[in-house]
Chain A
Amino acid sequence: MKHHFLDQYSDRRSPLHSLDPRVKILSLLSFVVVVVLTPPLPPHRLLFYTLFLLSLVLLSRVPPLFLLRRSTVVLPFVGLLAVGLPFLGGSGGSYSLGPFHVTHSALLIFLNVLWKAWLSVLAMGLLVSTTPFTRLLRGLQSLGLPQLFTTLLSFMYRYLYLIVDEFERMGRSREARAWRMGRLERMRVVGNMVGSVFLRSYERGERIYQAMRARGFEGRIRVMRELRMGGTDLLFLSLFFPLLLLPAVMV
């Protein structure tokens, strides 16, 4: 059984894949912060950021459609939150939509909220798709995220699929024996399955802890230092940040 939904394409080769994870984390997080925190941008600046990010996507050789499809997941949520925004009033020219009046500035805010949310998710999607999860964690840790978090996440990454597999196997054996089941009955069975997955995971946790202790674990996980920044990393940084800040000095 194969699952590959978390960091698909992260094992490809491209200029972006080969960068130090810390460089990518810092750059793309700054991108999100800059895009989100700047006041409502006129469309041509939004377009600039979009093209900027899309050129990184092309550079990464991750199939653009895959990333775009993934990033649109956020739109319904943000759309729901933002749906009232165009009607908030404000200054500038106004358009009328039947009984409603929509002002130019309110429309701009609406557009900005949607667009910025989408850009942020796209940027994070790009980060995850160009960095294997373990290297991402290593990067986060060396940027100061407490080891407790990174360790928890790394165990989650290791065992998530196993738990999903277990659940699927149980689901299949349920289907094999009881294919006609009322909704209530089905829910009760799913409840039992969740319970037994929890118990199995708990027991597995105990066995893993034993395996760790058997290999000298005494409370602190030690890892090798694997990250090294090189010339390309510096080159990337020295191109990325000026470009990111360029719209601020554009008229």
Chain B
Amino acid sequence: MKAVEIRGLRYTYPDGTAALRGVNLEVEEGESVYLMGPNGSGKSTLLLHLNGLLLPQRGEVRVLGMDTRNGVGEIRRRVGLVFQDPDDQLFMPTVLEDVAFGPLHLGLGEREVRRRVREALRAVGAEGLERRSPHHLSYGEKKRVAIATILSMEPQLLVLDEPTLGLDPWARREFLSLLRRLKRGRTLVMAGHDLELMGLCDRALLLRRGRVEREVDPEAWGEIEIIGGRKNHR
């Protein structure tokens, strides 16, 4: 079974911006895929389709074998989406409550919730932050806790929007090794324009003007030419 199957997906925002103009995408289970593309190329819009926060206006989105138009409850249960801005992702007053939010809303019992919170925080190296308010975390800590809030739901498919954006080189290095660990045994879809992060992935696709333009070699991350010149930027 394919983790993600998208055919002919189109999406236009109410203000008339055509964000996606016929996207085709397949992701195998256990694979990590990087969606590379300039700002405004439709990456975030595409990711929002992966757990049914946006529904296709035209075309078809199947995630883990389920069509997003036939109900999204089960899909949201199994797809973890980490947003770009951790201040959007972390909305509860303490880290503990935030990481517990997902599992609690899956209807799990309190003991299981606590176990998952512990494991998720350990997985991202954020033990000891439970009582802190997200406002008092550093940006790197926020980013890591944001991932923990998703890991605690134990998703089959992990979707990350610009995971390394805005991190300093030290936090970024830690973050890359965290992502390398997370990749093991998971299906991972990430978007952004971090060439080194792209190098960690099994496959990379170049998104431009709302379409998947072509597949690129993730290993070739040192050569800026692969993404084309400035001239045809968007």
Chain A residues, Cβ within 8 Å of B83: 207, 210-211, 214
In the complex, are the beta carbons of B91 and A211 less than 8 A apart? yes
Chain B residues, Cβ within 8 Å of A218: 105
In the complex, are the beta carbons of B88 and A224 less than 8 A apart? no
* A246 interface contact, C-beta 8 A: no
In the complex, are the beta carbons of A158 and B93 less than 8 A apart? yes
* B127 interface contact, C-beta 8 A: no
Those of B74-90 within 8 Å (CB) of chain A: 76-77, 81, 83, 85, 87-90
* B149 interface contact, C-beta 8 A: yes
Q: Which residue of B lies closest to A137 (CB)?
A: B93
* B134 interface contact, C-beta 8 A: yes
Chain A residues, Cβ within 8 Å of B91: 155, 158, 208, 211-212
Most chain B CB inside 10 Å of its own CB: which residue of A133, A157, A214, A216: A214
* A174 interface contact, C-beta 8 A: no
Q: Across chains A and B, which 3 residue pairs bring their CB atoms closest together, nearest first?
A: A216-B105, A215-B102, A207-B88
* B24 interface contact, C-beta 8 A: no
Q: Which residue of A lies closest to B136 (CB)?
A: A2
Q: Which residue of A lies closest to B86 (CB)?
A: A211
* B141 interface contact, C-beta 8 A: no
Q: How far is the CA of A89 from the CA of B100 in the complex (A)?
A: 62
Q: How far is the CA of A132 from the CA of B110 in the complex (A)?
A: 22
Most chain B CB inside 10 Å of its own CB: which residue of A154, A161, A210: A210
Q: How many A-B residue pairs have CB under 8 A?
A: 76
Chain A residues, Cβ within 8 Å of B104: 222-224
In the complex, are the beta carbons of B97 and A211 less than 8 A apart? no
In the complex, are the beta carbons of B48 and A210 less than 8 A apart? yes
Chain A residues, Cβ within 8 Å of B97: 134, 223-224
Most chain A CB inside 10 Å of its own CB: which residue of B104, B114, B136: B104
Q: How far is the CA of A3 from the CA of B136 in the complex (A)?
A: 9
Q: How far is the CA of A157 from the CA of B83 in the complex (A)?
A: 21
Those of A1-38 within 8 Å (CB) of chain B: 2-3, 11
In the complex, are the beta carbons of A224 and B135 less than 8 A apart? no
Q: How far is the CA of A86 from the CA of B97 in the complex (A)?
A: 52
Q: Mind listing 18 A-B residue pairs with CB under 8 Å?
A: A134-B94, A154-B92, A158-B90, A161-B135, A162-B87, A162-B135, A207-B88, A208-B91, A210-B53, A211-B88, A211-B89, A212-B101, A215-B149, A216-B102, A217-B105, A223-B97, A223-B100, A224-B114
Starting from the known contacts A158-B93, A215-B149, 13 additional A-B residue pairs (CB-CB under 8 Å) come to A11-B131, A134-B93, A154-B92, A158-B90, A158-B133, A207-B85, A208-B91, A210-B53, A211-B83, A212-B101, A215-B102, A216-B77, A216-B106
* A225 interface contact, C-beta 8 A: yes
Chain B residues, Cβ within 8 Å of A222: 104-105
Q: Which residue of B lies closest to A157 (CB)?
A: B93
Q: Mark B186-200, 1 if CB is under 8 A from A, else 0.
A: 000000000000000
Chain B residues, Cβ within 8 Å of A210: 48, 53, 83, 88
B residues adjacent to A (C-beta < 8 A): 48, 51, 53, 76-77, 81, 83, 85, 87-94, 97, 100-102, 104-106, 110, 113-114, 131, 133-136, 149-150, 153
Q: How far is the CA of A11 from the CA of B136 in the complex (A)?
A: 13
Q: Which residue of B lies closest to A213 (CB)?
A: B53
* A204 interface contact, C-beta 8 A: yes
Q: Which residue of A lies closest to B101 (CB)?
A: A215
Contact of B100 among A134, A154, A224 (CB under 8 A): A224
Q: How far is the CA of A70 from the CA of B47 in the complex (A)?
A: 48
Q: How far is the CA of A224 from the CA of B116 in the complex (A)?
A: 13
Contact of A158 among B48, B76, B92, B101 (CB under 8 A): B92
Chain B residues, Cβ within 8 Å of A134: 93-94, 97, 133
In the complex, are the beta carbons of A214 and B88 less than 8 A apart? no
Chain B residues, Cβ within 8 Å of A155: 91
Using known A-B contacts A158-B134, A162-B87, A162-B135, determine if residue A214 contacts B76 with beta carbons closer than 8 Å: yes
Chain A residues, Cβ within 8 Å of B85: 207
